Structures are given as structure tokens and as C-alpha cells.
Amino acid sequence: MASRRIVLKDPSRFRDPANLTWERYVGLQARERERYLAEKATIPADALAYKTVSPRYLERAIDQFANNYYSEESATHYIATAAANAPFDELKKCCLFQLADEQRHLEMDREVFERAGIPERDWLGAWEAPGTTCRFFRHVLELEDTIEILVKANFVAEGAAGPATFAVLADGAEARGDVLSAVNHRARIRDETRHISFARVLVKALIEDDPENLDVIQRWQDESLQLFAEVARGGERREWWEGFLGSYYKIALPLGLRPSTVSV
């Protein structure tokens, strides 16, 4: 499908809402890292070695672990492409800081797989199995245009899988004895919130810059949500799917986007 490109004719419409400089970013990440390590240090050794979860939990959790790990792994690649092709510096800066965030998330999720004792040869199969978010991320990895990547991955996907979804995942993991996943999700939320906000500012700027951009963004939204719908197919993750759409529409509808007709 040939996607139409859109440009921000007046780049001064976009400003990083977190107002980060290199110095502020490094300081923020250092504090974040300290906080993460302090939280991890409170996890009892048994729990950290995945001895407190049921064997049945681990069997089923491999899909969730793969969804976490490979979406972060994909993010390190697509956001690097977005940075390399960024049309102006302020946007490039946001992408580069995000690249560092995603690399950290990727390492956190690798540790989960390893501590849970799941052999690396099983990871990719779990990700490529039906019912994961693999189809969506493989699509984004084929894109080269910064604006399209940020609209689809940051605005739609992160906007949907945003804070509410990660809070549900964190609580669910903790209730089953998987404290490391819970700590990881809660750490990740703080960065993802920043990724969503700069994408939101970008989308708003694009629509103000040229109202016709709304149609293209609407089509990118429809394509993205359709690729995600597979996760909810068969009604298995109905509740997850409703929350996912709910989080996204909360940020998208006020900007003039319409709900997508998605076949599940």
C-alpha cells in the first residue's frame, strides 16, 4: 500500500513538550535508573528466580514476554530509522532520546526471559505465533518516513498501549508472583508517557499546519488498528482490546480523528 507522505511545513509548530536537553535527559535517566535498581533490589531472590510463580504461569507468560521483548526490540530499530530520517532537529532530538529509552526497556525484558529460564531458541517462535502484536511491528519496521513511523508507532500504538494497559499488565503479573515484570512495566510507563506526548504534539501540529493531513493520519490509524486487531481475534483478549482502544481514543478523538471500523 503506497502511503502518502505528509510534511510539517512550519517546523516551529513542533516543540518537545518535555523540553529536554542532553544534560536534562541524562540527569533524568540517571535518576530513573537509580529508582529502577532500588525497586529491583527489594524483590526477594525466590521471586527474582521465578520460583514463586506456577509452572502454568510460565507456560502462558512466554507469549506476554515475547510481546514485551520484541516490541521493545522493534522500537529500537524503527525509532533509529525515524531519527536518521528526521526532517528537522527538534524532532530528531526526541527520537534519539527515545532510542536510548527503548534500548533500556529491551534490556529489562531480556532479563525477564533469562531469569525465567526460557531458552532463547523459543523466543522468536512465541513472537511469530498468531495472536501477538508481531504483524503491526513488522509493518512499522518496513517504513522509512519519520512522520509515518511516529504517527503509527508512538501516537497510535503507544497511545493505545499506554499507561492504563501497562498498569493492568503490572498488577496482573504481580498478583501471579511475577514481581520483576511488574517493576519493569511500572518503569516503562514513565518513558512511554513521554513518547506519547511528543507524538501527540506532532499530530496536533500537523493538523494545524494543514487540515488535509487529518485524512492521511486517519488512514494510518485505521491501518495500524487493523494490524493490532489480530491480538483480540476470537475474543480471547477482549478486555485488553477494549482498554487498548479506549486509551487511544482518549487522545485521538479530541484531535478530530474518528474511531476506526476494525474487524476483529
Residues 6+ away with beta carbon under 8 Å from 3? 143, 145, 148, 216, 219, 220
Q: Which of 146, 134, 159 is nearest to 252 (CA)?
A: 159
As given in the structure block, the three cell numbers for residue 50 are: 521465578
Measure Cα distances from 220 to 6, 62, 252 in Å.
11, 30, 12
- Contact status: 109 vs Fe ion (CB under 5 A): no
Contact (Cβ atoms closer than 8 angstroms) between residue 66 and residue 132: yes
Closest CB 62 distance from Fe ion, rounded Å: 19
Question: Interaction with Fe ion in 13-72: which residues (CB under 5 A)?
Answer: 72
Instruction: Report the residue number, 152 or 195, with the smaller CB distance to Fe ion.
Output: 195
Q: Report the distance separating Cα 44 and Cα 41, nearest Å.
A: 8
Closest CB 252 distance from Fe ion, rounded Å: 17
- Contact status: 186 vs Fe ion (CB under 5 A): no
Closest CB 103 distance from Fe ion, rounded Å: 9
Instruction: Report the residue number, 105 or 200, with the smaller CB distance to Fe ion.
Output: 105
Closest CB 192 distance from Fe ion, rounded Å: 5
Instruction: Report the residue number, 5 or 250, with the smaller CB distance to Fe ion.
Output: 250
- Contact status: 176 vs Fe ion (CB under 5 A): no
List contacts with Fe ion (CB under 5 A): 72, 102, 105, 192, 195
